[in-house]
Structures are given as C-alpha cells and as structure tokens.
Amino acid sequence: MKNGIYAIYKGNEYEAGTKGANTIVLRSYNCNDISKGFSLYKNILYTKNVERNEVEELYSISTIADFKGIKFQVIKEEGSTVLLSSINGDYKVLENLGLDMADKGVYQKWIDISELTSMHEEKNHI
C-alpha cells in the first residue's frame, strides 16, 4: 500500500518530497544507497537532493478503496484490516457508515479488507 510522493531516479523508485521549486529530496531505507550518493539522515533513513530535471518521473500515489459505494483513502493497513479516511462528503452519510470524526472534518474507520468492493492505487503525475 502506497500513499505519498514518489520519484523514479536512475530507474529506481524512491519516496520523495520537494524542496523549493526545482529540488527533489529522495528518501530510501536501503543502506546500500550510500554508494549512490545518499546520506544518512537522523539515523533513520537515507536522503539525496537532486534537481527536478534529473528524475525520470515524479508522481503522487493514493491508495483508494470502495466501501459501500463510496470511495475512501486507505491510510494504514494492519493484517487484514485497513483504516479508511475521508475529508469529503456528507458527514451524516459517513457517520451512518460507522466512521468516527478523528479531527475536524476528518472521518475514519478500521474495517476488514473483505468488506471492500475494491482497493487500488491512483497515480497522478506532478
């Protein structure tokens, strides 16, 4: 399951972020990427700053699920359950589906994957 921004750099996919208008920050959890110019960041992950024109592709991915005819973003998966989240829609409908307000305007619910009609990734180029 993926959610976030990703980049293809030298044929490999990395989690990514932007820094200013033209800098892409690549993130990796693979210590072998040090040999590719990555540096250890806060003893957690490896990062590398590259120019936007150095990446082959930059895109966002969201994992989307259809639950009872409504599309939700899947923000977490644990075993056979997923956490659905919605910031759009009629709150009464969301509450009737058993979603709880997690924050102002944000509704969430853990459900078993078997209750989903479908689950897929949506990719949007940046």
pLDDT in tens, 3-47: 999 999 999 999 999 998 899 999 999 999 999 999 999 999 999
In this structure, the answer to whether residues 116 and 74 fall within a common structural domain is yes
Gap between the Cα atoms of 9 and 24, Å rounded: 10
Position 21 scores a pLDDT of: 87
Position 50 scores a pLDDT of: 98
- Let me know: does 25 contact 49? Beta carbons within 8 Å: yes
Question: What does DSSP assign to residue 91?
Answer: H
The length of the chain is: 126
In this structure, the answer to whether residues 51 and 19 fall within a common structural domain is yes
In this structure, the answer to whether residues 70 and 118 fall within a common structural domain is yes
When pLDDT is cut at 50, 70 and 90, the band that residue 1 belongs to is: confident
pTM exceeding the 0.85 threshold for the entire prediction: no
Position 88 scores a pLDDT of: 82
Q: What is the total count of domains within the chain? A: 2
Gap between the Cα atoms of 110 and 101, Å rounded: 12
Question: What does DSSP assign to residue 111?
Answer: E
